[in-house]
A = this chain, B = another copy of it.
Amino acid sequence: MSYRILITNDDGMAAPGLRALVEVAKQLGEVIVVAPDSPQSGQGHAITISEPLRLYPVDVFEGVEAYECSGTPVDCVKLAKHVVLINRKVDLCVSGINHGSNASINIIYSGTLSAAMEASLEGITSIGFSLLDYSWDADFRPAQHYVRQIMEYVLQNGLSKCQLINVNIPRLPLEGIRGVRVCRQADARWKENFVEATDPRGQKYYWLTGEFVNDDLEEDTDIWALGNGYVSVVPSGHDLTNYKAIPAMKKLEEITLPQKI
């Protein structure tokens, strides 16, 4: 059986990580790429609602149908589903391979993972892949080994009660990677700051900078897995409800009575 695979990313059509992912996917089925026409890192789940979107066919990967889109990664997936792939079923959406980590809280800021989440919301089983190497000339070959195995597993078995996984791969040679760990998202955060400077017209501006801090030291997290040489796989979703907090908060129903002004 031949599979149909949708690929997108947030680093744009020219990113080496996208090429690395297309190379693997081509071995597993028919590939369609819809990727942003400019880098979209940090776009999160942004969508374009106040402007029209453009979609251009491009010839970038040999034998692969590909389109550049003027919008965000989430826009790419929506256009892929509703314009490019109309009446064509997709077996899997893969996003990446991102240049840099999307472990832990980064899933919230990441265009790569938001694109995969959007596909899962559209009913397509999805995987976000990221390599812990921000450099443009990162070596994606060790990552490709795991990307292929995970894609094959998911194509053959699905993800049962889940439609989205967040996969991060450590920056190690193939023989240094110890295998795969299925984890939860570590409760880490960015400790941020701004560089303040003055432009040539004398106006102040600010540039975001920051440092990733993890105080969540349990051994069942993605950060632990990556720090110990494993590929991390986090089953993810789109339900942000904090269920544990519901019982204590029920008090709010009594206190906020109608028309008690």
Bitwise, A242-261 to B at CB < 8 A (1) or not (0) is 11111011111101111111
Evaluate contact between B44 and A46: CB separation under 8 angstroms. yes
- B49 x A47 contact (CB < 8 A): no
Q: Which residues of B contact A157 (CB under 8 A)?
A: 251
Q: Number of A interface residues, CB 8 Å?
A: 96
| Residue from B164, B189, B246, B255 in contact with A235 in the complex, judged by beta carbons closer than 8 Å | B246
Residues of chain B within 8 A of A260, CB atoms compared: 149
Copies in the complex: 2
Q: Which residues of B contact A255 (CB under 8 A)?
A: 149, 153
In the complex, the chain B residue whose C-beta lies closest to that of A113 is B240
A241 adjacent to chain B (CB < 8 Å): yes
- Asked if B246 contacts A182 (CB within 8 A), the reply is yes
B246 contacts A236, CB within 8 Å?
no
Beyond A52-B199, A53-B194, A184-B241, list 8 extra A-B contacts (CB 8 Å): A43-B46, A49-B208, A52-B197, A53-B208, A54-B205, A117-B240, A184-B243, A187-B239
